[in-house]
Structure 1
Amino acid sequence: MEYPEPGSDGSVLGAGPPPPAGPSPSRFPTPSLPRASRVALPSAAPEPVRAAARVSPPPPAHVRAPVEAQSPAQPPAPVEPPPVQPPMPVEPPPPVEPPMSAGRSQRGGGGRWWQVVVGGAAVLALLALCGLGAAALLAERDGTPQTAPTSQPETAESADVEAQALDSRDTDQAPLTAKELFPGKQLVVADGEPAYKVLKSQSSASCAVAATGEVADLLVRLGCTQVVRATLRTPDGAHLVTTGLFNLTDRANAERARDRIRLLLDEREGRFRGMAADEDSAAIATAPARVGWQVRGHYLAYAVVARSDGETIRSGDTKAREILFDMIELHLNRGVLERRADGGTAGQPTDEDAGDTGTQDGSD
Structure 2
Amino acid sequence: MVYRYESDEDAFEEYPEPGSDLPALGAGPPPAAGPSPSRFPAPSLPRPNQLMLPSTQPPPAARAATPASPPLGQVYTSAQPVDPSTRRSGGRLWQAVVGGAAVLVLLALCGLGAAALLADRNQEPQTTPTLQPNAAAPTPAQRQDLDSRDTDQAPLTAKELFPGKELKLADGQTAYQVLKTQSSGSCAVAATGEVADLLVRLGCNQVVRATLRSPSGDHLVTTGLFNLTDKVSAERTRDRLRQLLDERQGRFRGLTTGDDDGTDALTSAPARVGWQVRGHYLAYALVVRADGAAVKSGDAKIREVLFDMIEVHLSRGVLQRRADTAMAVQPTPAPTEGSGSQSGDDDELPGD
Contact 1:178/1:228 (8 A) holds in 2: yes
Q: Kindly indicate whether the alpha-carbon contact (under 8 Å) linking 1:199 and 1:231 is maintained by their aligned counterparts in 2.
A: yes
AA aligned to 2:191 is A
> Is 2:207 aligned against 1:240?
no
Is the contact between residue 205 and residue 225 of structure 1 (CA under 8 Å) also seen in structure 2?
yes
Q: Does residue 361 of structure 1 match 2:343? A: yes
Structure 1 gap segments, 5+ residues each: 1-95
SS in 1 for 2:244: helix
Q: Do 1:334 and 1:349's aligned partners in 2 also have CA atoms closer than 8 Å?
A: no
Paired AA for residue 255 in structure 1: E
Deviation at 1:316, TM superposition (A): 2.2
* Secondary structure of residue in 1 paired with 2:211: strand
Do the aligned partners of residues 350 and 124 (structure 1) sit closer, same or farther apart at CA in structure 2, a change above 3 Å counting? closer
CA distance in structure 2 between the aligned counterparts of 1:311 and 1:177, rounded to whole angstroms: 33
Residue 105 (structure 2) aligns with:
110
CA RMSD of aligned residues (A): 3.5
Work out the CA distance in 1 between the residues paired with 2:186 and 2:148: 19
Superposed CA offset, 1:159-192 (max 9, x none): xx53x52111111111001111111111111211
Q: Is 1:330 the equivalent of 2:312?
A: yes
Partner of 2:272: 290
Task: Say whether residues 1:319 and 2:314 are aligned partners.
Answer: no
Quick check: 1:187–1:196 contact (8 Å CA) kept in 2? yes
Contact 1:258 1:295 in 2 (8 A): yes
Whether the 8 Å CA contact 1:291–1:358 is kept in 2: the answer is yes
Q: Is the 8 A contact 1:254 1:295 kept in 2?
A: yes
Aligned counterpart, 1:305: 287
Superposed CA offset, 1:263-301 (max 9, x none) = 111111111111111332100111110000001111000
8 Å Cα contact 1:329-1:350 kept in structure 2: no
Distance (whole Å) between structure 2 residues aligned to residue 126 and residue 318 of structure 1: 68
> 1:106 offset after TM fit, Å?
3.5
The farther-off stretch of 184-193 and 241-250 is 184-193
Matches within 5 A, 1:252-263: 252-263=232-243
Equivalent in the alignment of 1:183? 163
Q: How does 1:65-144 map to 2 (within 5 A)?
A: 99=92, 100=95, 104-118=99-113, 120-121=115-116
Amino acid corresponding to residue 362 of structure 1 in structure 2:
G
Which deviations, in whole Å up to 9, do the C-alpha atoms of 1:1-54 show, x marking residues without a partner?
xxxxxxxxxxxxxxxxxxxxxxxxxxxxxxxxxxxxxxxxxxxxxxxxxxxxxx
Could you say if the C-alpha distance between residues 235 and 128 of structure 1 is closer, same or farther in structure 2, counting changes exceeding 3 Å? closer
In structure 2, distance between residues paired with 1:194 and 1:212: 33
| CA-to-aligned-CA distance 1:56-106 (integer Å, 9 cap, x gap) | xxxxxxxxxxxxxxxxxxxxxxxxxxxxxxxxxxxxxxxx99832665343
Q: Partner of 2:5 in structure 1?
A: none
The letter of the residue matching 1:170 is: D
Give the AA of the match of 1:175: P
Q: What is the deviation of 1:238?
A: 0.9
Partner-residue secondary structure (3-state), 2:145: helix
Deviation at 1:122, TM superposition (A): 6.7
Tell me, which stretches of 5 or more residues in structure 2 are unaligned? 1-87, 347-352
The range that moved more, 308-317 or 111-120, is: 111-120
1:211 aligns with 2:191: yes
Pairwise CA distance, 1:321: 0.2
The 1:118/1:177 distance shift into structure 2, 3 A limit, reads same
**Length-normalised TM-score, structure 1:** 0.61
Q: Aligned in 2, Cα 1:125/1:332: closer, same or farther, shift over 3 Å?
A: same
Determine if contact 1:166/1:298 at 8 Å carries over to the other structure: yes
Q: Which of the numbers 220, 227, 235 marks the counterpart of 2:207?
A: 227
Indicate if the aligned counterparts of 2:211 and 2:221 stay in contact, CA closer than 8 A. yes
Distance 1:193 1:123 in 2: 67
- Tell me, in whole angstroms, the C-alpha distance in 2 between the residues paired with 1:202 and 1:357: 23
| Greater RCO (CA < 8 Å, at least 6 residues apart) | 2
Kindly indicate whether the alpha-carbon contact (under 8 Å) linking 2:147 and 2:332 is maintained by their aligned counterparts in 1: no
Q: How does 1:242-281 map to 2 (within 5 A)?
A: 242-277=222-257, 278-279=259-260, 280-281=262-263
The 2-side partners of 1:321 and 1:349 are apart by 25
Aligned residues: 248
Secondary structure at the counterpart of residue 235 of structure 2: helix
Q: CA deviation at 1:357?
A: 1.1
1:113-163: CA deviation from partner (whole Å, max 9, x where unpaired): 13433554576678779x98xxx79xx7xx9x9xxx9xxx75xx33xx53x
**Partner amino acid for 1:108?**
V
Matched-pair contact (CA < 8 Å) for 2:186–2:207: yes
Give the percent of matched residue pairs that are identical in Structure 1 and Structure 2.
Answer: 58
